[in-house]
Amino acid sequence: MTDLHTPRLAAWMDGAGLPGAGAPLRTRLLSGGTQNEIYEVARADFRAALRIPPAAAPPDRDRGILREWRIIAALDGTDVPHPPALAVCTDPAVLGRTFYLMGFVDGWSPMDHQKAWPDPFDGDIAARRGLALELAEGIALLSRVDWRGRGLGDLGRPDGFHDRQVERWTGFFERIRGRELDGMAAATTWLQAHRPLDFVPGIMHGDYQFANVMYRHGGPARLAAIVDWEMGTVGDPKLDLAWMLQGWPENTADPEPGAFAYVDMRHLPAREEVAAHYAAVSGRQVDDLDYYLVLAQWKLAIVLEQGFQRAGGDEKLLAFGPIVPELMRSAAELAESTGYRG
């Protein structure tokens, strides 16, 4: 855990012109892990969230923090729900690592309500449906942002995006290979043969799901902020939609456990309705969604396989063991069922 040296932090905040100068500075850990740590920072009536890599994180994590900062700063003034960008610090003399302050989001996270949705969404099925539609609307709005006009022209490489997806992740799998995955060869061949010929580039979140958003308190459902932007890039935004939907149950009246098993998926809209809402808001067609769903399942299987291969005695990572083959077989079966061949 990072040692937040409050005198140095307070002095830097004063230099950045942030409110509350002279008042006692209070900090509180909100979440922490191997990727980044988030702290609440408050003095007088001012509240913010501070995002910083752990002290032992590799140096390139500082570049990742700056990448996140660029994205949320570029989103200021848009209709995309996001934490307001307040100030960024690249001077290691302050806290030892690059960090930034963002506006404190007054809302709730689905990760804090994994057993039951908070009121009114637990008992009101109509209100609960809005959670899914708002989730889709968040990335639909994101896909419409003028990324070049917002200064993000060098954030990613949209040219050849789909060519690189297959090449990059098959290469990654070869480096971590510890076992064979049934269906991987078939799914990989299908993806290579069915890459989209054209797409409209846009900002991607990169890991879009219920775990990475916050909602406003009370009903109706309103997205308060999209959070955790470390995977953000410019690419094909429809992969965000597929990443969100790839574990969506076929039957939301009585869903089987899937990728979204950490939240209650009962009585949410069907996948087709959620995709249609995304299409209506984003202006993007979703007729080829199957390709993106295959890619999302295939890619997620490889990402989770990395965790499984380095699990050691970590029970959470070991649990990926049976999930990965299931995901890869599902990707291959979906590819086979699409009705179009390479």
CA distance 57 to 132: 34
Alpha-carbon torsion (146, 151, 155, 158), positive or negative:
positive
DSSP state of 162: H
CATH of 6-103, picked from 3.30.200.20, 3.40.50.720, 3.40.50.970, 2.102.10.10, is 3.30.200.20
What DSSP assignment string belongs to 85-98? EEEEE--HHHHSS-
| Inter-residue contact 24 to 77 (CB < 8 Å) | no
Domain covering 110-337 in this structure, CATH number: 3.90.1200.10
pLDDT in tens, the chain (342 residues): 677 899 999 999 999 999 999 999 999 999 876 679 999 999 999 999 999 999 888 989 999 999 999 999 999 999 999 999 999 999 999 999 999 999 999 999 999 988 889 999 998 999 999 999 999 999 999 999 999 999 999 999 999 999 999 999 999 999 999 999 999 999 999 999 999 988 999 999 999 999 999 999 999 999 999 999 999 999 999 999 999 999 898 878 777 765 557 888 889 999 999 999 999 999 999 999 999 999 999 999 999 999 999 999 889 899 999 999 999 999 999 999 986 554
Give the residue extent of every domain in the chain: 6-103, 110-337
pLDDT reported for residue 1: 67
Tokens of 141: 């709005």
* Amino acid at site 106: D
